[in-house]
Chain A
Amino acid sequence: SQELEQSPQSLIVQEGKNLTINCTSSKTLYGLYWYKQKYGEGLIFLMMLQKGGEEKSHEKITAKLDEKKQQSSLHITASQPSHAGIYLCGADINTNAGKSTFGDGTTLTVKP
């Protein structure tokens, strides 16, 4: 989606390394959602961020939403092969109701 830009497009890291995925918009994000997808499967909801400056963590994954609510980052600490997959950010742009817009995804490969 051009309204929601995700970077990098793909990422290959060595097991144990940290990594960051970014999701950026030129518009205000009323809700920001991170999902993980394994190829050929559905999406698994990871986290939701709504407030500027908000940060949430689940196990080794931390997501942040900046104060301006236009950028979010997903950080994985000490990556493991189980973290491999496609990470997508989704957001409610310009409104807090209705359909979400999705980024193009980041394919993460973790080498053992």
Chain B
Amino acid sequence: GAVVSQHPSWVICKSGTSVKIECRSLDFQATTMFWYRQFPKQSLMLMATSNEGSKATYEQGVEKDKFLINHASLTLSTLTVTSAHPEDSSFYICSAENSGRAVGNIQYFGAGTRLSVL
């Protein structure tokens, strides 16, 4: 159980285009999902906390107009990188917390999306 599906796993796009990444919890409901960015050989950098039915909470330094987050249902959150530029190229990972779990804040992670902006 506790499977999180992230799609696409790899995307290449031209500079100036927008890219949407989906994060789905397949067998549990997730009121809260998280979006991370990971640079090579570095740890996870939290970008934003996605809350179902409300606005996302962005970390300091993350542009909310650049990284649009929508969490319209208890099983789906999307991250849209708008007007992508080469500096946005990175590995993006989502995670979801099981809303039905009474104890602990275990995050279940998607497999990540590698974004390459040409």
Contacts and interface: CB of A to CB of B under 8 A. Distances in A.
Interface of B: 2, 4, 6, 34, 41-44, 46, 49, 91, 93, 95, 103-112, 114
B43 A100 contact: no
A31 B105 contact: yes
Given A31-B104, A100-B107, 19 more contacts: A33-B107, A42-B4, A42-B111, A42-B112, A43-B44, A43-B107, A43-B109, A44-B109, A45-B108, A48-B104, A50-B104, A88-B43, A92-B105, A96-B105, A99-B49, A103-B43, A104-B42, A104-B43, A105-B42
Given A48-B104, A50-B103, A99-B49, A42 B44 contact: no
Given A40-B114, A42-B6, A100 B109 contact: no
Interface residues of A, number: 25
A28 to B, nearest CB: 15
A12 B108 CA distance: 28
B40 to A, nearest CB: 9
Contact of A98 (B4, B105, B109): B105
Interface string A20-53: 0000000000010101000011111100101000
A42 B43 CA distance: 12
Contacts of B95: 43
Contacts of B105: 31, 92, 96-98, 100
A105 B44 CA distance: 9
Given A42-B93, A102-B44, A105-B43, A33 B112 contact: no
A35 B103 contact: no
Contacts of B41: 107
B111 A90 contact: no
A14 interface: no
Contacts of A18: none
